[in-house]
Amino acid sequence: MEGAAPFLVCATSGTTVLGAFDPLDEIADICERHGLWLHVDASWGGSALMSRKHRKLLRGIHRADSVAWNPHKMLMAGIQCCALLVKDKSDLLKKCYSAKASYLFQQDKFYDVSYDTGDKSIQCSRRPDAFKFWMTWKALGTLGLEERVNRALALSRYLVEEIKKREGFKLLLEPEYANICFWYIPPSLREMEEGPEFWEKLNVVAPTIKERMMKKGSLMLGYQPHRGKVNFFRQVVISPQVSREDMDFLLDEIDLLGRDM
């Protein structure tokens, strides 16, 4: 709207589809210059902070005013487990969400009530997600959580290199994170020029292979179009139980089910 004044910039660390990361330091410079609140949606990519090797993806996140993060994704804490981290000492969350009900969250308790989460959230008395993550961290330790991130990204890298080696597979782009987006080009299309007819035919390949996978019961692999790109497969690597053999099976099965198209 003409004349409107911006007050907030929302950056993303780990987009849902491509796993892309915004340059947080550069964005923070602009926000500081103009007095804007910087929020970072790190729901997916925030767990990279647990890895000394990969935390550089989020360089500058310490300059954010607020951060959203979902440990139930990459770190596999029990669903759901979400965190909103706010750099604020003025009880901002209470000011926004507290209903100040006289029958809830009394302030004259014998312990430090600043740790009560109920009156800082629209979820009120639902069980706090922080406890689930505390239990996960307690069970696995910092090194265990770091290993989950490192292993997932190592397997993602392995899958990328295998895709590059195999005929008929083509990366959408070089991934930053654990989102591997790629096309499978069946033999009938490999000699065709990449014009409108080629992309029209390729658009039906992923949905058809997905249907065959489901009917066979071998795999469940997501696909989608994105910003003018026709349907492609999107493999997101998370589970610490996944192996290189699983990555090989994924590509073998796609080729097996799609080579006659």
The per-residue pLDDT of the chain, averaged, comes to: 92
pLDDT at 214 over 70: yes
pLDDT for 33: 96
Give per-residue pLDDT as tens, 93-136: 777 777 777 777 777 788 887 777 777 777 776 677 788 899 99
Tell me 21's DSSP state. B
Find the mean pLDDT for residues 137-141: 95
Secondary structure class of 89 (helix, strand, coil): coil
Q: pTM here?
A: 0.86
In the structure encoding, which two tokens stand for residue 64, read together? 């954010």
Give per-residue pLDDT as tens, 185-206: 999 999 999 999 999 999 999 9
Find the mean pLDDT for residues 144-168: 97
Strands 37-41 and 66-69: parallel
Query: Which residues on adjacent β-strands are paired with residue 234?
Result: 181, 222
Confidence of residue 1 (pLDDT cuts 50, 70, 90): low
Secondary structure class of 92 (helix, strand, coil): helix
pLDDT for 255: 97
Tell me which of 28-32, 92-96, 229-233 is least confident.
92-96
The share of the chain scoring above pLDDT 90, in percent, equals 75
Cβ atoms of residues 196 and 189 within 8 Å: no
pLDDT for 84: 87
Cα angle for residues 115, 116, 120 (degrees, 5° grid):
110
Find the mean pLDDT for residues 162-172: 97
Confidence of residue 13 (pLDDT cuts 50, 70, 90): very high
Cα-based distances in Å from 219 to 65, 111, 129:
41, 51, 31
CB atoms near residue 108 (< 10 Å):
5
Residue of 233, 219, 224 lying closest to 185 (CA atoms): 233
